[in-house]
Chains A and B, each alone.
Chain A
């Protein structure tokens, strides 16, 4: 490697670093200044003292977990089956899982409301059926991440040989999936689950338009009425995303290519 000093390199590296950290530092700094003339964590105390914060966080975290579970149940067997039996379907399935990049969330929620809020479905009438609808929306939203993670993981192992070996030892389909395929996909499923969880917890649009008490809409309300709490919420929210994505980068050495959805 060349060790020659290149001023341009350092200029761009500095610009990038400043652009990354200024907003983070600015937010953090702002969040500490609630008490005039002192550096305190008062804004954070206020956030945590607000029962609505805890409620909405609990709701979003619960929805995140449910979405992760549904995604795993839906995508892992499907991807496995496609790799094993229907490789010809792979391009089609890949295309379908990329559709959320083309259909913005605001259009998706528009479609969901138009389709499912009226008869015969009327799913927005009760909280429970709305939660089913919103979970479906979340699964769709995080589908590109989950599918890609599982697909990449599945490609790295020899699905056919593993399956045949397990079957020749007398394992049934369920057993093959649960005790042979799943353990081999631990890292992939963990990565997919963490991105899914982070996406759901930070999501605004679905929860806002389906009127559910999630973290996103709560943050908008706080942002409209207060000065310092939003900054504290922003830092907390960044921290959560960073923890999720940081773990992924650790376990998968940054192999998962991330892409934005739902902002």
Chain B
């Protein structure tokens, strides 16, 4: 009995001290949590609380309803469009480039070069990127000039330049132009995210499939693609979020003439274009909800992928 009591006591003793020690331990992370709460959590919740209040501060759902007004729905649609186009275009291009540098037997220097540039380009954006595309694809841009100069004389002696992008209805300052600009950082991001997944495809799987008589197509259709699908979906979601939250590039490129959700929020901060402060908060809340869904799904899919591939 005495022994048991002694064991119990020895178990208890550190526990009694534990409470004190652990409180002391938590003090060590207090500055970090205080900072995050003060400058991230509190301002954000303050904003979201505003989304559920009327001008007098009473609870209301009118602002959430207001999100379904035509003007705001259009902003969400434009943002969705741009994000969808660029996550698919960047995703497809990025996937093939990642494939080329992993399984496509590209030389080592090409592979490391492209990965390095992806690391750099995925971090571009904002004003400099807008400037670069104006100088390249703008009306007097470098690439525009090259495409314009490819001409031939038609039968009636008039000059025909079939590749002139602006003649074909392209404009850098349109949704399509914005999408082309975003793709500059989207597809390197895809390369960075998807390369480890493609590398994780085991050689044995392919060999096993070939031994069983599968063609390259059959291998990809039944094995390679299904294994990669969660990674591809996850990466596309990440790309989607990265385009959806972008503001600076679009603002610098179009001066705010394309009404993305982020642009409308910007105008709302400057001068209450919606004529309703609380509706502005609801707009911001909606934006964060979309982003949160994207990132949460990406994290889930990424976890699933790493379970598959890291073995």
A contact residues vs B (CB 8 Å cutoff): 1-4, 6, 8-10, 12-13, 15-17, 19-20, 22-27, 29-31, 74-75, 77-78, 81-82, 85-86, 89, 93, 96, 98-116, 136-137, 139-140, 198, 202-205, 209, 216, 219-220, 223-224, 230-231, 233-234, 237-238, 241-242, 245-246, 249, 254, 257-260, 262-263
Contacts and interface: CB of A to CB of B under 8 A. Distances in A.
Nearest to B38: A136
B262 A104 contact: yes
Interface string B122-133: 111111111111
Contact of A82 (B29, B131, B191): B29
B242 A219 contact: no
21 contacts: A9-B100, A13-B97, A13-B101, A22-B136, A81-B28, A101-B295, A103-B40, A104-B247, A105-B245, A105-B247, A106-B284, A107-B44, A107-B288, A108-B44, A114-B47, A115-B43, A140-B39, A216-B127, A223-B252, A234-B132, A238-B132
Contact of B43 (A86, A111, A234, A254): A111
Contact of B31 (A78, A259, A260): A78
Q: What is the predominant secondary structure among interface residues of chain B facing chain A?
A: helix
Contact of B192 (A3, A219, A257, A263): A257
A263 B245 CA distance: 8
A107 B47 contact: yes
B266 interface: yes
A260 to B, nearest CB: 5
A30 B146 CA distance: 13
A56 to B, nearest CB: 12
A263 B246 contact: yes
A223 B93 contact: no
Contacts, number: 269
Contacts of A139: 35, 39
7 closest cross-chain pairs (CB), A and B: A263-B125, A26-B142, A111-B43, A26-B136, A104-B245, A9-B104, A234-B131
Contacts of A30: 135-136, 141-142
Contact of B123 (A96, A108, A245): A245
A224 to B, nearest CB: 7
Interface of A is mostly: helix
Interface in B246-272: 246-249, 251-252, 255, 262, 265-266, 268-270
Interface in B122-171: 122-137, 141-143
Nearest to B250: A263
Most buried by A among B116, B121, B123: B123
A220 B135 contact: no
B80 to A, nearest CB: 15
B125 A106 contact: no
A204 B288 contact: no
B110 interface: yes
B105 A136 contact: no
A258 B265 contact: no
Contact of A114 (B50, B97, B189, B288): B50
Given A26-B143, A110-B268, A220-B252, 12 more contacts: A12-B100, A19-B187, A103-B40, A104-B288, A108-B43, A108-B44, A136-B38, A140-B40, A223-B130, A258-B192, A259-B122, A263-B246
